[in-house]
Structure 1
Amino acid sequence: MNSIQLKPLAATLLAVFTLSSIGIALYAPASRAADARKTDTAKPALTVTTALPQASRLPIKLAANGNLAAWQEASVGSEANGLRLTEVRVNVGDTVKAGQVLAVFSADSVNADLAQARAALQEAEANAAEAAANAARARTLQTTGALSAQQISQYQTAEQTANARIASARAAVASQQLRLKNTQVLAPDSGVISARGATVGAVVGAGTELFRMIRQGRLEWRAEVTAADLRQLRTGTSAVVKAANGAEATGKVRMVAPTVDPQTRYALVYVDLPASATSAANAPFKAGMFASGQFELGASDAITVPQQAIVVRDGFSYVFRLNADQHVSQLKVKAGRRLADRIEVLDGIGADTRVVVNGAGFLNDGDLVHHVAAAASAPAAAAVVGKTQTQPPAQAKAAAPTAPAAR
């Protein structure tokens, strides 16, 4: 009885299994056909433009950093000792000329000493006149025997001594006149006052520094250059110097230091800056400023690509090469110098490698792209923009392209 009841159930299961097998057999070819159609109708990831590398002539420049400093500094000190400073006529930043009076000391005591020295000179001259007269009379009596030889010698010695005292008195007068002259502190050269230590009323000693000045207002850029790069620099090489405030000036190498710092392995290169950038009151370059610059070393041939063609990822530079099957290949390159909107490629591609320009930043290795001419891409983009602006918001949103997903 039980075996008779199980037969309908087994028949039902057998029918279900048979129908499932027939369905699977029919679906597999249809699925394969659909996959084939999808492959045949694969859409490009992006519309791009391409360009061939160009041979260009790029300038060779050597970058360096350094400080601005005075070409030469002059220390203006006091030659007067123990005198009171009564007047200071210049301040920091003033432009002075050679021989200009910078400060004045009190001359009262010096004038008194000068008057005393002149009086001593007059006394010495009077004594010398008397001694000369006595010596002359003694010489006239020498043949008569009225005076002994010893007395005649004494008169002659007194005459010589009086003349020596005149010379000494004249030297004392000259010394006091020099002290009087030193009561005025004069500029030793033309330039700009960079520091001032003079204070009215101070009594300073000889040799005390009163002012410091930049001779002729000239500044120089002291660039730090590695020992390996020194052989590229020569006297007269042009350099474009840029200060921290953005000002630029073109100078020339005056001298390359004969030694290299043993600690840093850098050498100093002295670049003279033009007077127009340093000597004026509102000059953009000031001593002590930090400045960067580039030495112009000539030009050389190079292969360049548009800046948009270089894609930087993970710290490396890449370009995308367009293959014959309209797929792109990602190539690692070594970027070099930059000129306007073009970048030098040192390694990684040849002169006949066609690289993607517009759209390179959105591509991945192996993407299928649609290549259009560069001249036609701009009108096409403008037409798309115009069409989008005339569409209703809903349609514009629906028409917006979707960026390909990053792989």
Structure 2
Amino acid sequence: MLNKWSVTLLAAMLVLAGCKSEQKPVEEIRPVRTMVVGGALPAAAEVYSGEVKAQHEVPLGFRIPGKIISRAVSVGDTVKKGQVLAQLDAGDVALNATAARAALSSAQAQLAQAKLDYQRSQDLHAQNFVSQAEVDKRQTALISAQKLTEQAKAQVDLANNQASYTQLTADGDGVITQTLAEPGAVVAAGQSVLMLAKAGQYEAVIDVPENRVQAWQPGQKVAVQLWADANRELVGTVSEVAPAADSKTRTFRVKVALPEKNAAALGMTIQVSQVFASKEIPNEISVPMSAVFGKEQMMRVWLVDDKNTVHSQAITVLGHQGQQVRIQGIPAKSIVVTAGVHLLREGQKIKVLPSTQGAQQ
């Protein structure tokens, strides 16, 4: 009888043990901090005034000195590469070319005579009529005549080049923005005569005070408004921040590339701000550096879904601004983990700690 109850008790214990082993382990819920990115923007921001300039503006001048006899363009004219813009008096240049050609003819005649003298001295030396010293003398004269001829040829080439330098031509397509010399003026070699804004991308140029320049970084998206059309807002990209302040104004020159070739005309007044009044910048968001993990070219962030589960998302890092990282690759108003990112795994449940940061751009 005792054995029967013992067997029954043992069977019950085995059944209970089997049920217990089939229970799933409790999933760990990791506490993290999060923030909502790409939310509302502040209502006001600092605005800087400036003007529209060509990204590449170059001074044009003659390569030789002379007197300007004509100028074919004025401010605002559109020019093509190779187009003649101004002309120098070519009288002196023509005389120099004539003199160079005459010097070449003389040098060539002397070279021909030197060759004959050298050949004659060799023949006479073979008949013992002249010494070896005389042959060497004629050979030296021949070499000298050859070098003088080469020099004369170079002078002719130089004179021909200078003849072409009497015409000032455009070295690229663009617009004349300034005239610095008039017909009748005598200019030096290299003196600026015209300013050419080369065709291509335009940029907005502003000056930022030294206590604000740290907020401006190359690659950053900013809002650009034209004074002539205040209702139109352009998305510009900071292309250059001066490494040193202007010695007089103590401000830093900041250049902002405009998105469209014909977005504005040269010289237009613009206003630049880091806050967009009418829209947010698509696909570009700032997050704390602590939210980003991974290796170069493989950076990621953790996104939180509506079930408090995390999923890693690949991103593109555009740049850094203080303790913030500007990224692309996640939609606006996403919930991003900002603390504890290195302790998470794909699909893990999380618990959001208090003091979650508010929406940021």
TM, length-normalised to structure 2: 0.57
| Structure 1 equivalent of residue 305 of structure 2 | none
CA 1:92–1:261 in structure 2 vs 1: closer, same or farther (change >3 Å)? closer
Q: Provide the C-alpha distance between the structure 1 equivalents of 2:77 and 2:145, rounded to a whole number of angstroms.
A: 52
CA-to-partner distance for each residue in 1:289-313, whole Å, 9 max, x for gaps? Answer: 442122257679xxxxxxxxxxxxx
| Structure 1 equivalent of residue 189 of structure 2 | 206
Amino acid at match of 1:113: N
| Structure 1 equivalent of residue 48 of structure 2 | 65
2:205 is aligned with 1:222: yes
CA-to-partner distance for each residue in 1:340-377, whole Å, 9 max, x for gaps? Answer: xxxxxxxxxxxxxxxxxxxxxxxxxxxxxxxxxxxxxx
- Tell me by how many angstroms 1:85 deviates: 2.4
Contact 2:236 2:256 in 1 (8 A): yes
2:82 is aligned with 1:79: no
2:243 is aligned with 1:258: yes
Contact 2:201 2:261 in 1 (8 A): no
| Structure 1 equivalent of residue 294 of structure 2 | none
- Please point out which of 167, 190, 193 is paired with 1:184: 167
Q: Provide the C-alpha distance between the structure 2 equivalents of 1:272 and 1:73, rounded to a whole number of angstroms.
A: 14
SS in 1 for 2:125: coil
Greater CA radius of gyration, 1 or 2?
Answer: 1
Q: Give the paired residue count.
A: 238
- Please point out which of 259, 279, 292 is paired with 2:271: 292
CA-to-partner distance for each residue in 1:107-158, whole Å, 9 max, x for gaps? Answer: 2332232123112212211210111121122223334321112211221121
Q: Provide the C-alpha distance between the structure 2 equivalents of 1:265 and 1:203, rounded to a whole number of angstroms.
A: 38
Amino acid at match of 1:129: A
CA-to-partner distance for each residue in 1:199-229, whole Å, 9 max, x for gaps? Answer: 2333333233211122335432233445565
Contact 1:99 1:186 in 2 (8 A): yes
After the TM superposition, which residues 281-360 of structure 1 pair with which residues of structure 2 at under 5 Å, given as runs?
284-287=264-267, 289-295=268-274
Contact 2:62 2:167 in 1 (8 A): no
Unpaired segments ≥5 residues, structure 1: 1-55, 279-283, 301-407
Contact 1:88 1:198 in 2 (8 A): no
Q: Provide the C-alpha distance between the structure 2 equivalents of 1:156 and 1:270, rounded to a whole number of angstroms.
A: 66
After the TM superposition, which residues 223-242 of structure 1 pair with which residues of structure 2 at under 5 Å, given as runs?
223-225=206-208, 230-242=213-225
Identity of aligned residues (%): 29
CA 1:157–1:93 in structure 2 vs 1: closer, same or farther (change >3 Å)? same
SS in 2 for 1:252: strand
- Tell me by how many angstroms 1:102 deviates: 0.7
Contact 1:243 1:285 in 2 (8 A): no
| Structure 1 equivalent of residue 253 of structure 2 | 268
SS in 1 for 2:41: strand
CA-to-partner distance for each residue in 1:369-397, whole Å, 9 max, x for gaps? Answer: xxxxxxxxxxxxxxxxxxxxxxxxxxxxx
| Structure 1 equivalent of residue 85 of structure 2 | 102
CA 1:260–1:166 in structure 2 vs 1: closer, same or farther (change >3 Å)? closer
Higher helix share: 1
Contact 2:71 2:182 in 1 (8 A): yes
After the TM superposition, which residues 358-397 of structure 1 pair with which residues of structure 2 at under 5 Å, given as runs?
none
Q: Provide the C-alpha distance between the structure 1 equivalents of 2:179 and 2:70, rounded to a whole number of angstroms.
A: 13
Q: Provide the C-alpha distance between the structure 1 equivalents of 2:46 and 2:173, rounded to a whole number of angstroms.
A: 33
Q: Provide the C-alpha distance between the structure 2 equivalents of 1:120 and 1:265, rounded to a whole number of angstroms.
A: 58
Q: Is 113-122 or 215-224 further displaced after alignment? A: 215-224
CA 1:208–1:133 in structure 2 vs 1: closer, same or farther (change >3 Å)? same
| Structure 2 equivalent of residue 356 of structure 1 | none
Contact 2:61 2:191 in 1 (8 A): yes
After the TM superposition, which residues 15-94 of structure 1 pair with which residues of structure 2 at under 5 Å, given as runs?
57-59=39-41, 62-68=45-51, 69-82=53-66, 84-94=67-77
Q: Provide the C-alpha distance between the structure 2 equivalents of 1:207 and 1:177, rounded to a whole number of angstroms.
A: 19
SS in 1 for 2:74: coil
- Tell me by how many angstroms 1:236 deviates: 2.2
- Tell me by how many angstroms 1:163 deviates: 0.9
Q: Which has the higher contact order (CA 8 A, sep 6+)?
A: 2
CA-to-partner distance for each residue in 1:13-68, whole Å, 9 max, x for gaps? Answer: xxxxxxxxxxxxxxxxxxxxxxxxxxxxxxxxxxxxxxxxxxx9313685430312
- Tell me by how many angstroms 1:77 deviates: 1.4
CA 1:202–1:291 in structure 2 vs 1: closer, same or farther (change >3 Å)? same
- Tell me by how many angstroms 1:74 deviates: 1.1
- Please point out which of 128, 147, 158 is paired with 1:175: 158
Q: Provide the C-alpha distance between the structure 2 equivalents of 1:179 and 1:99, rounded to a whole number of angstroms.
A: 17
SS in 2 for 1:74: strand
